[in-house]
Structure 1
């Protein structure tokens, strides 16, 4: 038996400095964070749940983004790639699809030795804490390394230490529930296989699920609009295919075309949906508040209230395009300061409030707005926006540039945040309208 050393220990700054920054997620923002840390000579480890980079984007890779290439490439990443002989895709003003973003940019970035050698795939983060202390303990907290518990694809559980944690894990895999209350509708578990995630590949891999069927798309945002236009095209080739668009508000302002929108592909999407509704190819049902789902003859019956009356709507399949929310379950032992409404960092929330801001009117922000009471912990990218649907990749790139500068002790660069975004018209006028992602 070994005698325990009970001498009180205090983590030294030397040990903290020797530990890597832990980046959660190998999507565009996580990889951009890595690129900025490479330029500053700061060690890091990237933990990615998928077996390849950008596993979430690959799920909706058939979908076209709204931003052209000039807004999609992180400046630090571009410098590293061009130094290695990479040439950026031609920017003709056209927005690429998700799979193009991965194949033509992110795969190349992750293949750089100084980044690829530090990515651990098949690794799910299940908890973040401080070594030897829960969230209630304060003494020496800022000088104590982070502890990140993870589970590998073979089921093994491990822990690693870090000087800081940058959570860039995104929100795509945690959709908002269908019910207007923000809860899962009663009976949701009974029809789980018939309720599909946002942005299915309607014209490709998922075609068989929709051909000849009646699909109800729920949601008032651009994720819904992308699916609706795909279903309308499918209906032209597949007899019996019907499309219903269900929203909880009287109108779908988010997807309406705007003459002020400098993102041309997004403006065109809104116009297409308007025309499809006007022509009757899409049936719009507004003011429908879902409360219950049940199996009905092998399909789904959606029950709820509409203008004060009990109503129901039957479908063969339902697409949940009600937007996304952050998964905060792994952060129970981290001291967070989140806005009560949108679940974004409290200092950031007023800058991204979808009741007031579009994607293009969000102010530049960096480490200062993203700070939490837990020193060295940051939510970045889509996850930093909580439930707000107004995120642009360019915004996330500036976030991680500022954070990398702060970690390097370069306060001048960390505080001088700058960002030029396209004007995008109105993204949202009602936080409760249940829309999908606004500005991919």
Structure 2
């Protein structure tokens, strides 16, 4: 390969919010982007949770470089103080942005592998001088190899939800019960989805914002459909921070959601079972029974919603030399800054190209994928990431290192990794910590009192 790599495009994987923002920043820097999207349209993953409202207002989810591209088209910026749904975000921002980018975005193009031209991951000789080769499969099944000077992977983690097993592996019986398990927040405005949960007993597994949303939605359904009830399963205990920051949360919409989830429990529409790590999904007639590592068995349920986070799909990057943290699967320099054992969204230190670099020069994981298994990502963090990377690729190192971003504090500690530590429980009782010791607990008006019934 003798052509100078500077004449080649920068391939961006994914036409979601961060991928399209990356393209806008590259254009602003005079670089040529080529965005490859597996879906049929912009924001394909966001469309799948279009019924869910964002925590961040419009002012925080529109990228500045993207806005500059949109402005000449007559695009009208939404009210900065309003909170969009996922569908709003796509229709009023991502779709128009993709239209402006035109043929710089290719849809129905799935990236199946990235490497160096003529070099697998073992070969040292001449490696850095070779451009990247990007293998893709088009919607019609045809394959193609593209060449790039750099690759920005903004493909996210949406396609790789974590299993419900407490050890990070699928629980026994989880795959066999796949038709009764969902890994997404249900859209209860969809008649078919509503019928699936109305009048049924549902287990919701998870302790984050997605679980809060599901609890709130199912509580609303229970008010209209008798017999609808939720068992909320947490791997850790109930503490003052379990429901988020509440009124103290600097992301008010997130705080309000936590309060709605708490109300679902307090009003008896949901029971909470804590310190429960699922080992097995068994059967009782037509219903499912969850069994914990400690042998506890919960009362049978009809459906399960597993909202236990996501993880990055690194399979198509296997021929590259990535430097990833062994726990989070995030870039090694970024991992300590986003570790959920220590950090929440608002305590993440602003970061850019330095923290996102790998031993393989020219490959960057950005957006949700850069966080690996950490759940604390915010859109404006991703916008700052791609601004810094575009500056570095354009040779403006000073701008690349000048990372400026102020994130809203959460009002609560992230603390997900501390729930096994006795010290954490003691700190929580004294008001200085964030996590309680695991216990079995049922709360809420009318909650059953028997040890196994939820």
State if a TM-score over 0.5 links the two structures. Answer: yes
CA distance in 2, matches of 1:82, 1:290: 50
More moved, 247-256 vs 94-103: 247-256
1:108 aligns with 2:108: no
1:416 aligns with 2:374: no
1:290 aligns with 2:278: yes
Equivalent in the alignment of 1:299: 287
Counterpart selection for 1:362 from 348, 352, 358: 348
Alignment deviations for residues 110-132 of structure 1 (CA, whole Å, 9 cap, x no partner): 110xx121111111111111111
- Size of the aligned set, in residue pairs, is 418
1:346 aligns with 2:332: yes
Which consecutive residues of structure 2, in runs of 5 or more, have no partner in the other structure? 421-454
Equivalent in the alignment of 1:430: 416
1:227 aligns with 2:214: yes
CA distance in 2, matches of 1:141, 1:283: 57
Per-residue deviation, 1:73: 0.5
Alignment deviations for residues 212-235 of structure 1 (CA, whole Å, 9 cap, x no partner): 111111001000100110000011
- Please show how residues 129-140 of structure 1 align to structure 2 within 5 Å: 129-140=115-126
**Structure 2 SS opposite 1:342:** coil
1:264 aligns with 2:252: yes
CA distance in 2, matches of 1:297, 1:410: 65
Equivalent in the alignment of 1:158: 144
Per-residue deviation, 1:290: 0.5
Q: 1:254 to 1:54 in 2, by over 3 A?
A: farther
CA distance in 1, matches of 2:42, 2:413: 29
TM-score (norm 2): 0.89
Per-residue deviation, 1:294: 3.1
More moved, 411-420 vs 195-204: 195-204
TM-score (norm 1): 0.92
Equivalent in the alignment of 2:384: 398
Per-residue deviation, 1:62: 0.5
Per-residue deviation, 1:254: 4.7
Q: 1:170 to 1:432 in 2, by over 3 A?
A: farther
Which consecutive residues of structure 1, in runs of 5 or more, have no partner in the other structure? 1-10, 435-440
CA distance in 2, matches of 1:38, 1:57: 24
**Structure 2 SS opposite 1:314:** coil
**Structure 1 SS opposite 2:179:** helix
1:82 aligns with 2:71: yes
Counterpart selection for 2:201 from 201, 211, 214: 214
Q: Report the RMSD for the aligned CA atoms in angstroms.
A: 1.6
- Please show how residues 184-223 of structure 1 align to structure 2 within 5 Å: 184-204=170-190, 206-223=193-210
Q: 1:196 to 1:243 in 2, by over 3 A?
A: same
Per-residue deviation, 1:248: 1.1
